Amino acid sequence: MNAVILAVAVMLALSLLRVNVVLALFVGALAGGMIGGLDIFQTLEAFSRGLGGGVGIAISYAMLGAFAVAIARSGIPEWMAGKIIRKVKSSSNSHNNVKLKYSLFLALVLMAFASQNLIPIHIAFIPILIPPLLSVFSAMAIDRRQVVCLLTFGLTATYMIFPVGFGSVYLNQILGGNLQENGLDIELSQMPLAMAIPVLGMFMGLLLAVFFSYRKSRTYRVEETILIHEQDVQLSKPAIITSVIAIVLVLVSQLITGSMVLAAALGFITMVIGGVVCWREADEVFNEGLRMMAAFGFIMISAAGFAEVLRSTGDIPELVSQVQMFVGGSQALAAILMLLVGLLITMGIGSSFSTVPIIATLYVPLGMELGFTPLAIACLVGVAGALGDAGSPVSESTIGPTAGLNVDGQHDHIRDSVIPTFLHFNIPMIIFGWIAAMIL
């Protein structure tokens, strides 16, 4: 059996059995390494070597967590949540409640969009903003799986279509850069066009999740620890000004330097200098951000080790070569198998950003040999890399929403985050990605 298939299957099976994701990744890596021809010592060495690849991401998340906590100290998230709660309690008209519900859904998507492109703090906003809103969701009997799909769509679709912030990194640097490095003659400006049809598929899946699959009411108990006080939270003008300046600095510095660590550090320092975070409490606030994002960091570090084991077995190129032998000269069959292999790899690695460099070296020559157009090849590589990001147990696009929605222990990561996003985003992306590859 191919080591990639076995490792991902073991990891997913253990995750479905509610084994901790970090442990599932480790056991899956051991299984994949052993079946892939590595002995136990080589597997452990590869896993340990790969851990270093996730440290940079973990540090970025820690800094972003500290910045997000500093933003929370301004009172803005609590003020927003309080306004929404009072609006819900004051409305006795069911029509108004429906209108408020979908206004809230739109706001969640827009906030997720902004976290990727305008204010690049990624998933760090979720553990700050979502917990205060849980009482709102409970009062309105909102199925939290709707919220997961909204957040994951905002986190994923944005970087796939808009070349700003994280979108610039994915579309221009990672996708376009790797395509050109592997000999494909294509302009970076064409990347959004290549991804437009698959993103449309994601949007159709979102509509299905919100208006059909999870539209029915769902009852949750209301935890006193997450209730928001009904009185107005007073926002000071200096706190608002400082927060806006900090956000602008984070955006500008990230765009100029490409460093999320530096950007988040500048934002945090600005909040301290502006008095939003008292300098005597700066260490406490920073540590709170570290604790908030620690789980994300450990999962991403473990995922990097898992990915390195898969690469060390050499079975990823073998898997792709088997696809090439199987399809013969059929473009239609090749496209669907290339997408499914990409799904399998990304489900294991958990990051489209890490998957594209792996598959681009294999898919570009294969696509050119089969006669795909450059735009179709860009679509296949981009979608194959992004597949699984929205439905992987180790993806930040599912981990982030779970972190915010499970603070009261009523939201299961696999059943309420991973499975819903897999069904409503990955499957439509495969269908629409295949269609795009055939017509582009």
Asked whether the predicted pLDDT for residue 187 surpasses 80, the reply is yes
Q: How far apart are the first and last CA of the chain?
A: 35
Residue 91, pLDDT score = 60
Q: How far is CA 240 from the centre of its chain?
A: 28
Task: Express each pLDDT in 265-285 by its tens digit.
Answer: 888 888 888 887 777 777 887
d(CA 362, CA 365): 6
Asked whether the predicted pLDDT for residue 225 surpasses 70, the reply is no
Q: Of residues 227 and 16, which shows the higher confidence score?
A: 16
Q: Which two tokens stand for residue 222?
A: 């209301």
Pairs from 92-100 (Cβ < 8 Å, separation ≥ 24): 97/140, 100/140
Beta carbons within 10 angstroms of residue 381's beta carbon: 28
- Give the residue-averaged pLDDT of 3-14: 80
Asked whether the predicted pLDDT for residue 288 surpasses 80, the reply is no
Residue 95, pLDDT score = 61
Tokens 């073991």 correspond to: 10
Q: How confident is the model at residue 90 (pLDDT cuts 50, 70, 90)?
A: low
Asked whether the predicted pLDDT for residue 92 surpasses 80, the reply is no
Task: Express each pLDDT in 332-361 by its tens digit.
Answer: 888 888 888 778 777 766 666 667 766 776
d(CA 364, CA 320): 11
Asked whether the predicted pLDDT for residue 143 surpasses 60, the reply is yes
Q: What percent of the chain has pLDDT over 70?
A: 81
d(CA 51, CA 310): 13
Directed axis angle between helix 40-73 and helix 237-257, to 10°?
150
d(CA 151, CA 418): 13
- Give the residue-averaged pLDDT of 198-219: 91
Average pLDDT, the chain: 79
DSSP-derived letter for residue 221 is P
Asked whether the predicted pLDDT for residue 393 surpasses 80, the reply is no
Task: Express each pLDDT in 96-126 by its tens digit.
Answer: 667 778 888 888 888 888 777 666 566 767 7
